[in-house]
Amino acid sequence: MIPRDTIDRIFSAAHIEDVVGQYVSLKKRGANLIGLCPFHSEKTGSFTVSPSKGIYKCFGCGKAGNVVNFVMEIEQCGYPEALKLLAKRYHIEVEDRELTAEEQQRQDNRESMFVVNEFAQKWFVEQLWETAEGKAIGLSYFRERGLQDETIRRFGLGYSPAKGNPLTEALQKKGFAERFIVSDAETGIGTGLVGKSEDGRLYDRFRDRVIFPIHTISGKTVAFAGRILKKKENTGKYVNSPDSIIYSKTRELYGMFLAKQAIKRADRCYLVEGQMDVISLYQSGIQNVVSSGGTALTKEQIRLIHRFTDNITIIYDSDAAGIHAALRGIDMVLEEGMNVQVLLLPDGKDPDEFARSMDASLVVEYIETHSTDFIHYKADLLLHEAGEDPIRRSQALTDILHSIALEPELVKRSEHIRLLSALSGNGEEDLQRVMTRQRKTYIDEKIKRRESAVAGEGTTFPSEAPSQTAEATDTDAPVQADTTLMYSAQDKRLQQRYGQLDTHFRNLIQVLLRDGQRVLFTTEEGQAVTAGAYILSQLAQDGIEVSNEVYARIMKEYETQMQDAGFTPERYFSFHQDPAINQLAISLLSDPYPLSRMFSKQYVSENVEAEVKKEDPNELVNYIIQILLELKFDLINLRIDEVQQMLSSGTLDGASQETLLRQQMEYMQIRGQISQALGNRITAI
């Protein structure tokens, strides 16, 4: 575990301008530094570094963070690794603190499983290269598939013998506990390298197979896939490690550890289905390639790719199953806001066969010149199948428009519509109208799913969930919390109300971060009241709860920390260990401060902030009261709209209707009082 005081020392020593300056050419501009963003292509610098705040923000792509976030992004590593890299740079010794019994057990379980996997990985490789059976069967198989020895070694391929249970015996001889070599489906503890029969007999799970190790993004062996070489009745072609506390097949991508730097350089990722597809393309010179591992593509896998690029090219088999998987993948990639292309391989080949069928340079050339955007792909496929049948053409267009409707950006949707119109001969306005309806349906369904979902996505194995401290998890990147307000109604007007509430709460959080410790006034008893204390007391007094989880956590931590004389909200939250909190804090600290517009017709970040600090505290009081009144006004409007929706449902009896009507009248009276207060703007306490 990295203690909090060590983390604070790292943050204090690591000047963001020095660290960023190693990767970006920075020029002085006022109190800040500016340069070309390292995370997206641009000609005019929009990447800003604030030495005084210790944060960066790109006003082009929106990326923002502190010095640790920058190292995580640029080095593509996790939070603990970024801290250690900075500690090494500034010669800070990272000392471990004593773990609690629960933390120690959790860490021991994870580390033991990784140690078991590393041992098994080396053992499988040894069987492939140093045993007669491995050479004759496993190595011969890989060479027959066209793999060079260097490639076989680079991917750590191995072999598991056909007879007996030699791996089980080797693991037992090494002294590994049974619970780490066998899998427990309930707790997720155990690698599953060894199976256990009903009579208690242990056996090698991967017997008589060639082995493909699966690595985390940082290179740790997390699981295995074993491919059988001879068809056997009632025996699957592949056997895979079971999900566990260290491995989830929905989150890992085969080949990502080797591909990540190539993906960054090319700003594109090629996505295939199988392990051999990855290896053969890699050997042909296409190194920015990963695989979903023979399973259905997941959102988690797409988001992992998105950390390195916005561009994905899908290269699946050209059979019916491959086409179906490609069509499904297109929609999932679009939904995540990424750019997707598709490649149809010639003669019905899969990527592995294709890579082995021609010279490596021709493979690269073909892929680069024959990839097409998803509109052309779906139009060629679906409209061609439909022919001149009007019903089938309508269905094909509806399918394509559904994909376009998933695209988050309006401009891209418009361009896709224009292209589809040209390809199909249908008018842009007609296509636009249908697509707009489909997008509305998609948004409504998304809101409905959010309503029915439980808060947060629980882990598969909650008893072994990693702790929130720096060293307790092997996760290679922080999971970003969903800061979207959870809607509780489908009605469009109610959605707008919730969005307005989210804006008010966001503005209050911004005040807490920038001016929370500033004294607003002194009570008759001589007690100084700060902006933060005033906001929290007003929310508590009216029983107003924050629906957004991240906002609520910031307010709760603020209330806990604000009595500390050394508490600085800007620094505390922008350097918070939780990435969802520090990202939100940095974004709010980087955004224009609405309060500043009271004192300046033209917003200039550093100068106006200095002006605001000099102004009469009553101006800040006025701004806070304005937000609170608007918040209460929208809350009461929300209640009125919700009551009206229930009254309009037609399902209530007379007594219930009377109760709701009485409640609605009370709400409207309160709304009138708030409206009057808004009209008579209070300018001082």
The whole-angstrom separation of Cα 253 and Cα 290 is 6
**Predicted local confidence at residue 45, as pLDDT:** 80
Q: 223 CB contacts (<8 Å, ≥6 apart)?
A: 117, 191, 213, 214, 240, 241, 247, 249, 252
pLDDT digits (tens, 9 = 90+) for 188-239: 999 999 999 989 999 999 999 999 999 988 788 999 999 998 877 777 888 9
pLDDT digits (tens, 9 = 90+) for 104-136: 788 789 889 999 999 999 999 999 999 999 999
At residue 97, does pLDDT exceed 80? Answer: no
The whole-angstrom separation of Cα 375 and Cα 416 is 7
- Parallel, antiparallel or unpaired: strands 47-50 and 32-35: antiparallel
DSSP state of 254: B
**Class for the domain spanning 267-448:** alpha beta
628-652: average pLDDT:
78
The whole-angstrom separation of Cα 433 and Cα 439 is 10
At residue 181, does pLDDT exceed 60? Answer: yes
> Domain coordinates of the chain in residue numbers?
4-89, 101-240, 267-448, 492-679
Domain 101-240 in CATH 3.40.640.10? The answer is no
At residue 437, does pLDDT exceed 80? Answer: yes
Exposure pattern of 255-291 as b/e (b: 16+ CB <10 Å)?
bbbbbbebbbebebbbbbbbbbbbbbbbbbebbbbbb
Candidate CATH numbers 3.30.1330.10, 3.40.50.150, 3.90.580.10, 1.20.1440.230; the one for domain 4-89? 3.90.580.10
At residue 269, does pLDDT exceed 90? Answer: yes
pLDDT digits (tens, 9 = 90+) for 19-62: 888 878 788 888 888 888 888 777 778 888 988 788 888 888 87
Highest mean pLDDT among 8-17, 87-96, 268-277, 297-306: 268-277
C-beta of residue 264 within 8 angstroms of C-beta of residue 40 = no
**Predicted local confidence at residue 675, as pLDDT:** 77
Exposure pattern of 224-249 as b/e (b: 16+ CB <10 Å)?
bbbbbeeeeeeeeeebbbbbbbbbbb
**Predicted local confidence at residue 458, as pLDDT:** 40
Residue 339, φ and ψ in degrees, nearest 5 = -95, 130
More confident residue, 296 or 279: 279
Q: 546 CB contacts (<8 Å, ≥6 apart)?
A: 505, 539, 552, 555
User: Tokens representing 418?
Assistant: 């224009």
pLDDT digits (tens, 9 = 90+) for 556-569: 899 888 877 778 88
pLDDT digits (tens, 9 = 90+) for 536-554: 888 887 788 887 888 888 9
DSSP state of 505: H
At residue 573, does pLDDT exceed 90? Answer: no
Give the length of the chain: 685
At residue 145, does pLDDT exceed 80? Answer: yes
The whole-angstrom separation of Cα 525 and Cα 630 is 30
**Predicted local confidence at residue 468, as pLDDT:** 31
